[in-house]
Structures are given as structure tokens and as C-alpha cells.
Amino acid sequence: MSVNVLPGRQAATPTPPAVSPRQSRPGLSFQARQSVSGALFVLPFLVIVVLFLALPLGYALWLSLHSESLALGNKFTGLAQYGHVFKDPEFRAGLWRVIRFGAVQIPIMLGLALVAALALDAINTRFSRVFRLIAFMPYAVPVVIGALMWGFLYSKTFGPFAGVSHVWGGGPLNFFGGHLLLISLGNVVTWAWTGYNMIVLYSALQGLPREMYEAAVVDGASPIQIAWHVKVPAIRQAISLAAIFTVIGTMQFFNEPAILARFAPDIDAGYTPNLYAYSQAFRFGAFNYSAATSFALGLTVFVLSYAYVFVTRRRAARA
């Protein structure tokens, strides 16, 4: 069939239909490529979590469900070892000691951190910046160095506190024995962690809108009333978060008593639950029982943390 073309005009070449870039590229769609790219970015972190967290925890759980002896070898015992742990008087004594320690030390530390954060938020001068840095410095000091430093300060022979009791005619204070031992350990922990919690609460205060303060000032509220009735309720969630982390850290109390044990004979293998689990594994070779002790402690921490969250939420709902 012939096509008639007018003189002076060329035949119009039909243009092909437009093809989108997605249609022109064979293979995965754009959403699929995004998913693959995201998975590749997450993969290194996932591998690290599996190798250094999931697998060790799984192996420890397997150990806690088995017992090993020379006569019977490795035998599956289920939850029997957990029952032995919760009936163990040494574990229960250490657990009760840590709970009493936290009941006194945690409110003191968080109270000091809250007061310091409120003071820094109210006073915005060069001195406040220097104080913020100084208060945070103990957290940057390694635990071993900080504990050894306080061990020197608590010494009865050459420490600076050795002659304090001579003022009223008494002998040198024994910071590593009796009722003063828990107080001494609590002082070390408070010194190390107050600055960290202060920064957390101070950051929460910095995120509050300043209109709240201005309205309270217009109403005639004093700085103390503003701090207690405006600022503290506004950062209640940050306080609860800091309290939960502090409870978890207190129940895992290990570093300070383990380092100061060489100076304090009262710190034995079962002084804290974490120290008891460590001693069972690396001093007595009872790795299965140590794993069960660790998971029993983790279960206790979970129950206490959940109870704290439950109580605080109910109080907030009533308010």
C-alpha cells in the first residue's frame, strides 16, 4: 500500500510511547531496592548483635537448664537450678542487701541530680557551664580508677578521713566494715553517677517551652514554686526513665565491691547477686549454676522494673 505525501512535506515519523524509568529498567522495583539497601545497612549491626549478644545469651540459657557432674555428665534438669538459686540463702542475702542499698542510694542520687539540673536550668551563666562539666567528670573516670581512688581516701592509715574521728576522741573510722561499708559504697556510686543523671534531667529541662515559665512568673510564682510545680511535673517521664536505668544498674551492682573487696574483708563472694554469679563461675567452676543465678537476677530486675513502671503509670493516671 502506498502513502501519498504532499510536495514539500516529509512523512511524519510516529513517536514511540514514553517509557518511564521504572519500566525501562528490568529487575527489582524501587521499593524493593530500598528495602534491600536498608537491610544491607542494618546487616553489620545485626551480625554483631547475634554474635555478641544473642548467641552468648542463648548459650548461657542452655547452661542454666543443664547440670554437669563427674558421675552423670551433662544432664538436662530444666528449671530445677532456678529453684535452687531462689532458695540459696547466700543469693537471697545478697539480693536483699542490694535492695536495701538501692532504697537509700537511688533517691539520694536522683534527688541531688534533680536539684543540680534545676539550678543549672535557672542560672545560665559561665559558672553554670563550668559546674556542668565538673559534675559530669566523675562519670568519665573509669570505674577501676574511681574505686581505687576512694579506697585510698577511705584508708585508716594514710587516708585524709583517718583523723576525723580524733576530733571527738574516737579511733579511726572503719569505712570498710560494719554499717559504714554500704554507706561507703553508696558514696562511690553517687559520686560517679549523679553527674550523668543530672545531664539527662538538664537536657529534658532545656526542651521545655519557656512560655510555661513566663506564665508562672506572671501569676506571681517564686522560683522554687516554678521548679517544683511547673518544671518537675513537666519532666516526669525523664525522671522515671533515669530511675528505671538506676534500678537496673543497682541490681547489677558489681564493679565497686569487686574492686574494694581487697580492702574490705566483709565483701565476700556473695555480697551482691552479680558478684555471687561471678564467683560461682570463675572461682568455683560452677558455670551452670552461675548461668542460672544470672538469669534469676535478670528476672528479678525485670519484675522490679515492671513494678516501678506500673506504679508510676497508675499515679500519673490518677493525677
Task: Provide the pLDDT for residue 16.
Answer: 54
Angle at 158 between CA 152 and CA 161, to 5 degrees: 75
Compute the half-sphere exposure of residue 112: CA atoms within 13 Å on the CB side of its CA: 16
The model's confidence at residue 280, banded by pLDDT at 50, 70 and 90, is very high
Is residue 5 predicted with pLDDT exceeding 70?
no
**8 A C-beta contact, residue 239 and residue 111:** no
Enumerate long-range contacts of 158-165, CB under 8 Å, 24 or more apart.
none
Does this model's pTM top 0.85? My answer is no
Task: Provide the pLDDT for residue 166.
Answer: 64
Measure the N-to-C terminal CA separation of the chain; round to a whole number of Å: 90
Least confident of 46-55, 97-106, 150-159, 260-269: 150-159
| Whole-number average pLDDT of the chain | 85
The domains found in the chain, sorted by start residue, are 36-76 (no CATH), 82-318 (1.10.3720.10)
> Model confidence over 109-153: pLDDT tens digits?
999 999 999 998 888 777 778 888 888 899 989 999 999 999 888
Task: Provide the pLDDT for residue 235.
Answer: 92
Angle at 76 between CA 64 and CA 271, to 5 degrees: 25
Is residue 318 predicted with pLDDT exceeding 90?
no
C-alpha cell read off for 289? 549454676
The model's confidence at residue 187, banded by pLDDT at 50, 70 and 90, is very high
More confident of the two residues 306 and 164 = 306
Q: At 75, is the secondary structure helix, strand, or coil?
A: strand
